[in-house]
Amino acid sequence: MAELVTLTIDGAQVQAEKGALLIDVCKARGIEIPAFCYYEGLALQAACRMCLVEVEKMPKLQPGCTLPVAEGMVVKTDTPVIHEARKSMLEFLLANHPLDCPVCDKGGECELQDMTFRYGLGESRFLENKHHVDEQQWSPVVFFDRPRCILCYRCVRICDEGVGVDALGVVQRGVVSAIAPSHGDHLECDECGMCIDICPVGALTSGMYRYKTRPWEMNHVGTICTHCSNGCKTTLGVRGGQVIRANNRDHSGINGEFLCVKGRFGWDFVNSTERAQSPMLRTNGRLEPVSWSRALMTVARKLNEVKQRGGRVGFIASNHTSNEENYYLQKLARQGLRSNNIDHHRTGDVVTLIDALAGRTDALATVADLYAAKASLVIASDLAQQQPLLHFQLRANWRHHRSRTYVVTPGPVRERKFAVKSLHAEPGRELDAVESLRDDLSKEPELVILFGDAIQGDAVRRLVAFGDSLGIPVKYVCLLDYSNSRGAIDMGLAPGLLPGYRPVAEAGLEPGMTIAEMLADASLDVLWVVGANPLRNARLAAENAFVVVNEMFLAETAQRADVIFPAASAYEKEGTVTNVCGEVQSLKKALKVMGAKTDLEIFGLVAAEMGIDLGPFQPGAVFEEIRREVRGYNVSLPVIATGGAAQSVPLNGRVPALTRAELIQSARDTLFTSGTLGRYSKNLTSVLEHPGKLYASGIETP
């Protein structure tokens, strides 16, 4: 417990931690001190002078945002002098601020507007003409309207401190000082849009959202981003059946204010004109739109026919579908068709990790652990590119707690800027490099180890053995690629595993075929591909196989399909997803795209058509079943229902793991790519600046 001091705020005795900032202490007491430049977690600036308070025995008003509380301090936050000061500050801020609120994107959610309304004078004594500078476009997503800027430096600080890109600065001085981008007239950065989000006024605006609508015109739906595996919460602004913007409006969820370029701008695939909006059936060699009932009937009949004659059916599942859909799909395969030929594109070896941990329930880290841990070790992954939230967390941990980070990668990564030790390791030699850190690591009080797909199979076991031998508490994160990669393996979308990492032998079944085996099996009768694109770089050996595809876009696999079901995206459904750290969060339906059905509905309807009873296919009901049946998924319902994240603990006992190196491979998506979804997001392709390899030189110099 830190030392407490007693001070008086507005006549009331208050106890607070010594050294805490007055503005925070007041906030905790329910006293608002207005401020623009103060932003929790960022360096102090005291630039805006809105937070002035009266402190006894101090001759002038003091900025509350930089004033640490001290014993016996007497503070007044609500006096005529302060009111006068606030009015003057706002008058100065508005001296050159254009009053174009009706056209400004920020109008309605602008901090300057709110403050002026609450504390302002209502009129100005400045009669001079305002200084006009034309709006500048800095990148496809960032626009800068200089006269609106109040120079609070929030954008500069979040870019430099928060994201570590340092792409914004302040040039010139006095009345002509202005925010400037890193490359003269344009930005070369992560395009994460954090600067736009953090701007208290409408100076930085988003290229995707600007002049589209007003804040109060949208429905705001808080759901989980459907791109990478970090599971950031994103609030979609929806109007007229279209997603217009995304941000984490209320800073809730595991990511706080953070969102990367994909979460903030990569939503436009939802309203892409190339979306499949009607079921298609191959007739006379051509795909033609048909009714839902016809498509469902065709598939159901085919599956029944193959089932009766004992044919071979394979399922390739998705990294993006919800836990409910994954669970229902494996039920359809295993119970409905007695087939274990079910697999998905695996991007990390969670299975071996869980086996190696052998039931230790406290050894899997959460996203919050990355912010709290005293030390962390990153192995063979470029977090800033592939796991942006995890990178943000590690960086924030270093900024706020001076945590110690060790990096072992085959190339330069951004974490090296703050790592205490960075080692270069050729692919395959990572564990040798880790071994050389033994002395340093064993001196740490605790450790979180994050490892990418380069560590798999035996290497995972050796890594866990190494962690055990350090004699300190060690937690692990097995890095994965996509929004529900973890949920897919948890729900048993693998030929040898039932949901909850139970071996298939428990259900009296033989292990089935993997993706590669299914594609190579010339005698396959039916292949059902759900939200995946295995035929992008491969060929289907079974020439005559009947291919069913659940897809949003007619990509390579869909082109080969005999039946296409137009599927709904994660933003169009209810359900739950599990992030890279095993945290379960709920999806909220934000909109409906005409013609598409959720995968759960499609599975349920096909099962019903086939005459198989697999239980109700409502997300809530299936989730109840998951909580009952899947080990570790008995998570707290209130936490999930209120938009929180509850970690699943799928650890009790050994997993008869079958890991084969060729089956586990990350897709190496960068910040600006996201598999098929990324290809159909115009926003993402327009900001794509570094199409090259993950570790290509120069990718780290923003």
Partner 1 sequence: MTFSAELEARFAKMMQSYPPGRERSALVPMLLYAQDEIGHVSEALILEVAARLNISRLDVDEVIGYYSMLHKRPLGKYHVQVCTNISCLLAGGEQLLEHAKKSLGIGHKEVTPDGQFSLEEVECMGACCWAPALEINYDFHHFVTPEKLDQLIASLEKVQ
Partner 2 sequence: MPKINEIIGSAAAIAKGMSVTFREMLNPSITDLYPDAPPLFEERYRGVHVLQRDENGMEKCVACFLCSAACPSECIYIEAAENTDPKRISGGERYASVYNIDYNRCIFCGYCVEACPTDAITHGHGFEIASYNTATLIYRKEQLLAPLPPGAQVPLVVNEEPVGAGH
**For binding to partner 2 (CB under 8 A), which residues are involved?**
100-103, 107, 135, 137, 139-141, 186, 207-208, 210-214, 216-217, 240, 682-683, 686
Q: Which does 11 bind (CB under 5 to 8 A by kind): partner 2, partner 1, none?
A: none
Tokens of 511: 């292990």
Asked whether the beta carbons of 673 and 685 are under 8 A apart, the reply is: no
Q: Which does 208 bind (CB under 5 to 8 A by kind): partner 2, partner 1, none?
A: partner 2
Terminal C-alpha separation, the chain: 41
Q: How far is the CB of 433 from partner 1 (least distance, A)?
A: 25
Asked whether the beta carbons of 82 and 76 are under 8 A apart, the reply is: yes
Q: Which does 556 bind (CB under 5 to 8 A by kind): partner 1, partner 2, none?
A: none
Question: How many angstroms separate the CA atoms of 224 and 685, rounded?
Answer: 21
Asked whether the beta carbons of 487 and 578 are under 8 A apart, the reply is: yes
Half-sphere exposure of 297 (CA within 13 A, CB side): 5
Q: Which does 205 bind (CB under 5 to 8 A by kind): partner 2, partner 1, none?
A: none
Q: How far is the CB of 227 from partner 2 (least distance, A)?
A: 18
Q: For the window 153-192, what string marks contact with partner 1 as x by the rule CB under 8 A?
A: -------------xxxxxxxx---x--xxx----------
The smaller minimum CB distance to partner 2, of residues 9 and 687, is found at 687
Q: How far is the CB of 630 from partner 1 (least distance, A)?
A: 49
Return the number of other C-beta atoms located less than 10 Å from residue 440's C-beta: 14
Q: How far is the CB of 520 from partner 2 (least distance, A)?
A: 41
Of the candidates 213, 178, 182, which has an alpha carbon nearest to the alpha carbon of residue 104? 213
Question: How many angstroms separate the CA atoms of 298 and 130, rounded?
Answer: 69
Q: How far is the CB of 259 from partner 1 (least distance, A)?
A: 24
The smaller minimum CB distance to partner 2, of residues 140 and 410, is found at 140
Q: How far is the CB of 42 from partner 1 (least distance, A)?
A: 18
The smaller minimum CB distance to partner 2, of residues 215 and 511, is found at 215
Residues in the chain: 702
The smaller minimum CB distance to partner 1, of residues 130 and 183, is found at 183
Q: How far is the CB of 686 from partner 2 (least distance, A)?
A: 5
Tokens of 384: 């800033």
Residue 409: strand pairing partners: 424
Q: How far is the CB of 157 from partner 1 (least distance, A)?
A: 14
Asked whether the beta carbons of 307 and 611 are under 8 A apart, the reply is: no
The smaller minimum CB distance to partner 2, of residues 104 and 555, is found at 104
Question: How many angstroms separate the CA atoms of 90 and 104, rounded?
Answer: 18
Q: Which does 456 bind (CB under 5 to 8 A by kind): partner 2, partner 1, none?
A: none
Contacts of 150 by beta carbon, 8 Å cutoff, 6+ apart: 36, 48, 93, 97, 112, 200, 201, 203
Q: How far is the CB of 265 from partner 2 (least distance, A)?
A: 9
Q: Which does 1 bind (CB under 5 to 8 A by kind): partner 2, partner 1, none?
A: none
Contacts of 305 by beta carbon, 8 Å cutoff, 6+ apart: 311
Q: Which does 304 bind (CB under 5 to 8 A by kind): partner 1, partner 2, none?
A: none
Of the candidates 96, 147, 151, 105, which has an alpha carbon nearest to the alpha carbon of residue 124? 96
The smaller minimum CB distance to partner 1, of residues 410 and 702, is found at 702
Q: Which does 137 bind (CB under 5 to 8 A by kind): partner 1, partner 2, none?
A: partner 2
Relative orientation angle of helices 619-629 and 323-331, to the nearest 10 degrees: 70
Q: Which does 180 bind (CB under 5 to 8 A by kind): partner 2, partner 1, none?
A: partner 1
The smaller minimum CB distance to partner 2, of residues 172 and 211, is found at 211
The smaller minimum CB distance to partner 1, of residues 187 and 489, is found at 187
Relative orientation angle of helices 292-308 and 599-610, to the nearest 10 degrees: 60
Alpha helices in 378-514 (DSSP H): 383-386, 388-401, 430-436, 438-442, 458-469, 485-490
Return the number of other C-beta atoms located less than 10 Å from residue 624's C-beta: 15
Q: How far is the CB of 159 from partner 1 (least distance, A)?
A: 10
The smaller minimum CB distance to partner 1, of residues 131 and 183, is found at 183
Q: How far is the CB of 314 from partner 2 (least distance, A)?
A: 40
- What are the two backbone dihedrals, phi and then psi, of residue 482, each rounded to the nearest 5 degrees? -115, 175
Q: Are strands 168-171 and 142-144 parallel, antiparallel or unpaired?
A: unpaired
Q: For the window 602-631, what string marks contact with partner 1 as x by the rule CB under 8 A?
A: ------------------------------
Q: Which does 172 bind (CB under 5 to 8 A by kind): partner 2, partner 1, none?
A: partner 1
Q: Which does 149 bind (CB under 5 to 8 A by kind): partner 2, partner 1, none?
A: none
What is the torsion angle, in degrees rounded to the nearest 10, for the CA atoms of residue 472, residue 647, residue 649 and residue 656?
A: -100
Binding residues for partner 1, per CB under 8 A? 166-173, 177, 180-182
